[in-house]
Structure 1
Amino acid sequence: MQNLSLLSQTERNRIELDKQAAYTVWKVKNAKAGYEAFAELSNNISDDDDRDLFERAVSKYKVQMGVK
């Protein structure tokens, strides 16, 4: 196990984006949010690399959770 507080701010941010992607896909799958939630979150990410990471994570979790 790794202490997350020892990671750089960039790495902590990437972990947070991955968690947000997983949670948003879960919410869509369970009808707690609509598909527009993906665009809303993505549009709020100003850094292009972070936005790309978030969108790749969303794609990954859509496949894992069976969301189209």
Structure 2
Amino acid sequence: MHNLTLLSEAEKNRVELDKQAAYSVWQVKNGKKGYEVFVEVAGNIDDDDEREFFEQAVAKYKIKMGVA
């Protein structure tokens, strides 16, 4: 188990982006939102590296959750 409070701000932000990616894919899988949710969330991320991290996390969770 990890103590998330010990992470740097950048690492905490990546954890949050990963959670947002997982939740976005879950929403699409369960018909709560359409695929536009990925563009919407990514569009709210100013930093290019963070946006790329989010998009990679979305791809990871699409595979894990069986979302095409």
Match of 2:48 in 1: 48
Q: Percent identical across equivalent pairs? A: 65
The 4+ residue runs of structure 1 with deviation greater than 6 A are none
Are positions 1:23 and 2:23 aligned together?
yes
Q: Which amino acid aligns with 1:45?
A: I
Matches within 5 A, 1:1-68: 1-68=1-68
Under a length normalisation based on structure 1, what TM-score does the superposition of the two structures give? 0.98
Under a length normalisation based on structure 2, what TM-score does the superposition of the two structures give? 0.98
Q: How far apart are the structure 1 equivalents of 2:13 and 2:61? A: 18
Q: CA deviation at 1:2?
A: 1.3
**Secondary structure in 2 matching 1:27:** helix
Superposition CA RMSD, Å? 0.5
Q: How far apart are the structure 1 equivalents of 2:2 and 2:44? A: 29
Between Structure 1 and Structure 2, how many residues are aligned? 68
Q: What residue ranges of structure 2 are gaps of 5+ in the alignment?
A: none
Q: What residue ranges of structure 1 are gaps of 5+ in the alignment?
A: none
